[in-house]
Amino acid sequence: MTVKTKRQAKILELISMQEIETQNQLMETLMEAGIKSTQATLSRDIKELRLVKELSPRGHYRYVLSTRDEPNDYETRLRKIFRESVTSYAIAQNIIVVKTLPGLAPAACSTLDGMEIPNLVGTIAGDDTAFLAMRDNDSAEQLCREIEAML
């Protein structure tokens, strides 16, 4: 488990157990739990976790996990990148080769790396070509079907 994952899990635990009203209060509570964080990092965590402020029964605002159904930001970005930049793709056993407009392969790989794609081992980006290494041929074929659906 990464430091970020541990920190975000602790944030979720803390807001479920306590009425935390401000980022400063959350930062102090994290510190008491042995987790150091900057305000900027905490702000990013709040955004990534989709925390919102809600009025508590006591009449104070507190952080809670949003219940709104929102699409995964990475998925939205990936779909947009693929629709606007991918010119073709091909499969070679467990490797998927994605051709993009010039300069956009790194953006496609960065987005893919940030998603939790099952069996994606890693990506390599050139200027207009991305290589996606999948764990096996079946996984590569499945991802190609998903790429086709995005296009």
pLDDT digit string, tens, across residues 93-124 = 999 999 988 888 887 787 777 777 889 999 99
Average pLDDT on 11-34 reads 92
Instruction: Provide the whole-model pTM.
Output: 0.51
Residue 27: pLDDT band by 50, 70, 90 thresholds? very high
Phi, psi angle pair for 112, to nearest 5°: -60, -40
Distance, in Å, from the CA atom of 151 to the CA atom of 147, rounded to the nearest integer, reads 6
For residues 23 and 69, the model is more confident at 23
pLDDT at 77 over 70: no
- Indicate the helix (H) or strand (E) that contains 95: strand 95-100
Return the half-sphere exposure (C-beta side, CA atoms, 13 A cut-off) of residue 131: 7
pLDDT at 18 over 60: yes
Distance, in Å, from the CA atom of 61 to the CA atom of 111, rounded to the nearest integer, reads 34
**Per 3-state DSSP, what percentage of the chain is helix, strand, and coil (rounded to 5)?**
50, 25, 30
CB 119 within 8 A of CB 145: no
